[in-house]
Amino acid sequence: MFQSAATLRASKMGRMVLLIRTSVLLFAALAPLAPETPPKQPLSLPLRCPGGDCPLLEGPPQTAGMRSGFVRLQPGQSVGWHTTGPNEESLVILHGQGEALIDGQPKHSFVAPAYTYIPPAMRHNVTNTGHEILEYVYVVAPAAK
């Protein structure tokens, strides 16, 4: 009727191992049922921006990595020198005129409607050189590796 201390320890150890194995198997069985990231959905967004830079798409989880925004610049105003790092950028000029200054490149002047491409890792600035508001949409996306 009486069990030795060693037998009790072995019995407890056996139950603990069984509990751990059961927990691992249960976790493995339920892991596929965990909620997945929902698939990306199409979006339609209004292009309303009181001024400056108004983000539209801000990357994950909204997109797979692309970011976008709507910019409105007053005459003479610029966005300031910046880079998008390893990403490439597109500018879709909707209204007005301006120029894209890109380090080491001749200036790129444009009048709407227009499109400008900026390669990855290029420091650049956009300036409104006209007498009306300059409006454009930028799209920044990861460059292919």
Q: Angle CA(132)–CA(111)–CA(103) in degrees, nearest 5? A: 105
Together in a domain, 56 and 28 = no
The residue range of the domain holding 130 is: 52-142
Is the residue at 102 inside a domain?
Answer: yes
Together in a domain, 58 and 115 = yes
Together in a domain, 11 and 65 = no
Burial 107-117 (b: 16+ CB within 10 A, else e): ebebebebebe
Q: What confidence tens digit (pLDDT) does each residue in 49-67 have?
A: 776 776 777 767 677 788 9
Q: What confidence tens digit (pLDDT) does each residue in 5-28 have?
A: 556 555 655 665 555 555 445 455
Domain count, the chain: 2
Q: What is the pTM of this model?
A: 0.67
Work out whether strand 52-58 and strand 67-73 pair parallel, antiparallel, or are unpaired.
antiparallel
Contact 88, 118 (CB under 8 A): yes
